[in-house]
Structures are given as structure tokens and as C-alpha cells.
Chains A and B, each alone.
Chain A
């Protein structure tokens, strides 16, 4: 459902974000209260936080892993890890940015462990999401994304699909904004080339 929301807000480098930009998902007072209650051990409040962000984290995990099963595991792991780190969350960044950071790190670690097992890239092409156009374009794009290095892929996903600004994506990935811009440039060039070849 979250994936079919209309593109709103300023696009990053001309890419149409599928989710609304992160600026529009500000931490509300309700969220602050939920965080405070969760810190106090209220699991019901934490479940509410999970409910708020579950689609966003699942989508990120799916695009990073390319597997629905892995995405579910990674999304659950993200929230479990977030719960253990909740005491350290001071609220000086957005809850969504904080969750993105945890999820991205988990996905990058997952990629490494899967690559050691030689599984990650093989599974990607097997699970193809239904594309909006009903054609095979969506699957080809996901294959192309899979061929990018995890860091380049993360840069594209955070900006193009999740609508983060360069500064926000750089903060999530723990790199400088210039580095992020460089990665995006490189990723887009590689994607264009891969898609051009697959189209031919």
C-alpha cells in the first residue's frame, strides 16, 4: 500500500520518490510519547511505533535484499535492534532516519554474509515484484539495482524510492554529502548502462 502512494514533494535529482519525502514524516508529539512509553518498557507503545514505520522499513529491506523473505527477517531484526537501542535514542534525529540507519546497516551486513555464502545476487532475479505497468520493466530495474554495489544501491534507494534529500541520505549512510552525490552519479550511470544493454 505504501509503495503505491503518489509521488509528492520535491524530487531528488529529478527522480520521483514513491514515498512522501521524509520532511513530511516528521516526528509527531504522538511519536514522542510512544518513544517515551517504549523506553519505559511499554511494548504496546513500541508495537504502535512498528506499525507506523513497518512498510517503510520493509520496502527498504526488500529493495536492498531483493527477497521478500529476507526483507521480512531484516525488517523484524531492524525493529528488534531498535528496541534494544531505544535507550540511546535521544530524539535529536527523526525516528524514521534513526530506523533507516539501523535498517541500512543490517542490510549491508546481510549482503556481506549472503555474498560470503554466494546467495544474495542469485536470489534477486528469482523474486520479481509485479510491476505497475504489467510488463517486465520492474523486474529488469530490480535486476539492474542488484548489480550495483550495496553502497551505490543504498544511495539510489534512499533518494529515489524513499525520497530522502542528499543530506538526509548521507546522514543515514554515515558519509559526506559529496560522497553521497558521487555515489548517486555513479549509480545512475551504471543503472542507465545496464538497462540500456538489457533493453537491446
Chain B
């Protein structure tokens, strides 16, 4: 069967005729159904409401889980930095090259030197809160960290005292200068505090 024959045959399939009375009353029947229907059936609306509620609850659960997971991971990161686990793991991975580990809102970062340094000073833990930003840094005495857009040197003495020194900037537990009101710093020599904790039970 060629295309023309098919077209001719398709043209022969007619739709049953309806009377003029039928077509005359058809719009009226539609309008009557619209008038009686009014608002959509309550069952539909309940179903939609139920579906929307279930969907919102699922979204809430997912968002809650993500936030909880993120918070738990953040806390775990801070704890691992504080007790030296992160430091040991990264030192093993990059022997002599690790300069600092930084945990901020965007995650965990490391700063590495190009060459391995033969001797390392004591590790220092720093927590810097500047307004709403919180940053935890584990670095070594003698390294530079950024604070309020300035490079600040981290120094620790034999007694475990930590000092941050920069251009017009000084911070220690006893004295501070050049810091704004919103800047809050905590610092600790991790190796000194660990050694001190290890000795304490024997005293």
C-alpha cells in the first residue's frame, strides 16, 4: 500500500455524527458541571496536602541530617586537631614539609613547604575568632599565620607560653595590643601541654 492509498483510507474513517440538539446542549452540560463542581474535590486537596506534608517532612529530615553530619564532622575535626591526631597523620604523610593545618568554615586545609625541614619546633594550637569567623590552626613555633589580613609570627617558649607577633600586633595571654574588640585568640603549645599532662599524675 503506497502513501496515497493510505491517505485515502485514513480519510474514510469518519467520526459518528451527532444531532444539532446534542451540540446545542453540549456547552450547557459543561457549564452545569463547572457550576456543580465549584472548588476541586476535597479528597484531591487532602491528598495534595498529605503529599506536600510528607515531602516537607522528608526535606526537613534530609536537611537535619546534613546539618547534624556537618556539625559532627566539624567537631571531630577540631578534636582531632586539638589532641594532635591530625598533626601526626599529616606529618606521616608529608614528613618535614607541614607548615600549618587550618580548619575554617570551608573545611580542612594544609600549608606545606616545598622542601623538608630537618628539625621542627613545637606544635602550637591556635583558635582565632574574628567576628563570626572561627578558625583553628595547628602550626609550629616560628611559622607565620594570617590574622586580620596581616602575617603574624607564632612563637612559643620553653614554658609553653605562646606569643603572636606582627607589625603593630602583639598577643599573649598576659598582654595584647593592636587587636580590635571583635578578635579573640586562644593559643596553646600542644607538645608542652601533653608533656605536662603526662607528668601530672606522678606529681
Contact status B17-A47, CB under 8 Å: no
CB distance from A3 to the nearest CB of B (A): 5
CA distance A147 to B15 in the complex (A): 18
In A83-108, which residues have CB < 8 Å from any B CB? 83-84
> Closest chain B residue to A141 by CB distance?
B13
Task: From B34-42, B51-59, B80-88, give the one contacting chain A.
Answer: B34-42
> Is A113 on the interface with B (CB-CB < 8 A)?
no
Contact status B14-A43, CB under 8 Å: no
CA distance A122 to B159 in the complex (A): 95
In B2-37, which residues have CB < 8 Å from any A CB? 3-4, 6-7, 9-18, 23, 26-31, 33-35, 37
Contact status B34-A80, CB under 8 Å: yes
Contact status A129-B28, CB under 8 Å: no
CA distance A6 to B30 in the complex (A): 29
Contact status A141-B12, CB under 8 Å: yes
The 10 closest A-B pairs by CB, nearest first: A141-B13, A47-B27, A50-B27, A192-B1, A137-B12, A79-B30, A129-B16, A138-B13, A3-B15, A15-B7
Partner of A129, one of B7, B15, B31, B34: B15
Give chain B residues whose Cβ lies under 8 Å from the Cβ of A79.
30
Task: From A53-61, A165-173, A175-183, give the one contacting chain B.
Answer: A53-61
Chain A interface residue count, Cβ-Cβ cutoff 8 angstroms:
52
Contact status B23-A76, CB under 8 Å: no
Partner of B28, one of A47, A75, A84, A135: A47
CA distance A145 to B17 in the complex (A): 19
Contact status B17-A1, CB under 8 Å: yes
CA distance A61 to B7 in the complex (A): 21
Give chain A residues whose Cβ lies under 8 Å from the Cβ of B13.
63, 129, 131, 137-139, 141-142, 145
Contact status B30-A192, CB under 8 Å: no
